[in-house]
Structure 1
């Protein structure tokens, strides 16, 4: 049995750990509230942009565009597939990163992808490190996303993603990230970003018709100077909005996962402290009993 001094050290150490995890839980909860308040406005903008793109589909604007002048909609043989994954830079977020890697691996298995025909674009250090260690080509690695990301912060990153596609570094692009459901739950989503086909646009997470009807946008367009010029402006903004919205969503899920993980760690520390307290009291009681027995035995010997 451990000595009383050892048990006291463990109790003290566990209490210190509990203070840290409790503080981290409070910090993560505050960050979660902050990003939720901050991202509401952007979601409004993203929904309006989705409505516009949805009605471009309804108006058959994409049917007759010149793909030679619009690389984002051009279909070409898929020699390499790009996967843009959003993970965290650090740990202490429960299964947040493991779930993304599991979803990404499932996507690769479904499409028969491997390190020879796959290019990884990583937002967050965990995903970059995982696939780098397994020999995958990392076309883009971005670390240090702030707790409440701004569009300006990752504007160049989004331009780089589109430039890599236009330079044929990969021929299709999938986005994998954690979607925030509530403080205790998130789910994993993967979306085909490029090329922008009519089918891919129609099958996006939010129904374009539903979003468009919310804003009562009419599906009729007169284009100046022509449809290709309009789409050359709208579609890059659309891709950028999808990626940035996913980063916001993933960061929200990350703060929620961190808060939940730290809450669970704090509860575990409380349970361990209670167990150690009981163990200490029993050991102390046994020590006192032994001392009384020894004193009594000494008195009997003196009689």
Structure 2
């Protein structure tokens, strides 16, 4: 299982590295664009002052045997929102990607509005189109005032960190690890250029924003998948090492018991011989 997980990890890591620069560049572009257009051009640019409802998309795995991959992000996520949400009347609705997350949230009594199995093979942004539609429609209709995405960020084969992104509304500094400082905070650049929109600002911004949300969800799914396979590979390696240690320990116990039995038999034979010689 370790070798299978390692093969899947390499494939997932390649996909993450290929798309990460594009994802960050797209986020940078929307942050630079955000202050050059009127918020009235699109409802996805509108920031709400009265917070009533938020939606959290959390990405976990479908299966276990991956160490603390699921428990780590789930427990830290609940702790993060309990600590940072001060309004007792604020409602949180959850979208679970991955069976383990859905099961945990259901047992915790959370309000799950949608649940998706995590794709075993990620083909493209179409894998997150259903999630994207829910959160975009919910934000435009003012059903939600903020949208968060929580996933496990792939740092290396040995290190993966839970991360949260405030996806909507778009803000310059909303990418951070749960419980620590941000690894790659994307900052706005002070470009002086003015943008010309064709055919119209509304059409361009609408298409751009929807694609950006798809890209960010897709990248989060890729990062989580690479982290999952890395965690599973390490868990299987530790299990293999532990099994080897147990085999060595049991072999030693068996050899000691066997040696004791042989010694006992030799002692009994020697004792019997001595009795016969003395009689």
Q: Output the TM-score relative to the length of structure 1.
A: 0.80
Q: Does 1:54 align with 2:31?
A: yes
**Do 1:124 and 1:141's aligned partners in 2 also have CA atoms closer than 8 Å?**
yes
User: Which structure is higher in RCO with an 8 Å CA cutoff and minimum separation 6?
Assistant: 1
**Do 2:56 and 2:95's aligned partners in 1 also have CA atoms closer than 8 Å?**
yes
Partners in 2 of 1:170 and 1:92 — Cα distance? 35
Q: Residue 125 of structure 1 corresponds to which residue in structure 2?
A: 99
Partners in 2 of 1:131 and 1:220 — Cα distance? 46
Q: Does 1:263 align with 2:237?
A: yes
Structure 1 counterpart SS, 2:172: helix
Aligned counterpart for 2:47 among listed residues 64, 67, 75 = 75
Matches within 5 A, 1:109-124: 109=82, 110-112=84-86, 117-124=91-98
> Would you say how many aligned residue pairs link Structure 1 and Structure 2?
267
Q: Does 1:91 align with 2:70?
A: no
Q: Does 1:300 align with 2:274?
A: yes
Matches within 5 A, 1:93-172: 93-109=66-82, 110-112=84-86, 117-172=91-146
Q: Residue 6 of structure 1 corresponds to which residue in structure 2?
A: none
> What's the offset of the Cα at 1:149?
4.8
- Relative to structure 1, the CA distance from residue 208 to residue 235 in structure 2 (aligned partners, 3 Å threshold; closer, same or farther) is farther
Partners in 2 of 1:154 and 1:252 — Cα distance? 16
Partners in 2 of 1:289 and 1:33 — Cα distance? 53
Q: Output the TM-score relative to the length of structure 2.
A: 0.86
Unaligned regions of 5+ residues in structure 1, if any? 1-23
| Cα RMSD (Å) | 2.4
**Do 2:69 and 2:228's aligned partners in 1 also have CA atoms closer than 8 Å?**
yes
Q: Residue 4 of structure 2 corresponds to which residue in structure 1?
A: 27
Please, which moves more after superposition, 37-46 or 116-125?
A: 37-46
> What's the offset of the Cα at 1:203?
4.3
Please, which moves more after superposition, 257-266 or 128-137?
A: 128-137
**Do 1:116 and 1:136's aligned partners in 2 also have CA atoms closer than 8 Å?**
no
Partners in 2 of 1:44 and 1:188 — Cα distance? 20
> What's the offset of the Cα at 1:83?
1.1
**Do 1:56 and 1:219's aligned partners in 2 also have CA atoms closer than 8 Å?**
no
Q: Does 1:179 align with 2:158?
A: no
Q: How far does the alpha carbon of each residue in 1:134-193 deviate from its partner, in whole angstroms, 9 at most, with x for none?
A: 221111111141144532233233223322333444321111111111111111111111
**Do 2:135 and 2:147's aligned partners in 1 also have CA atoms closer than 8 Å?**
no
Structure 2 counterpart SS, 1:237: helix
> What's the offset of the Cα at 1:50?
2.5
Q: How far does the alpha carbon of each residue in 1:205-263 deviate from its partner, in whole angstroms, 9 at most, with x for none?
A: 542557x9xxxx98431123443332111111111111110110111111110001111
Unaligned regions of 5+ residues in structure 2, if any? 176-183
> What's the offset of the Cα at 1:126?
1.3
Partners in 1 of 2:112 and 2:198 — Cα distance? 40
> What's the offset of the Cα at 1:39?
3.5
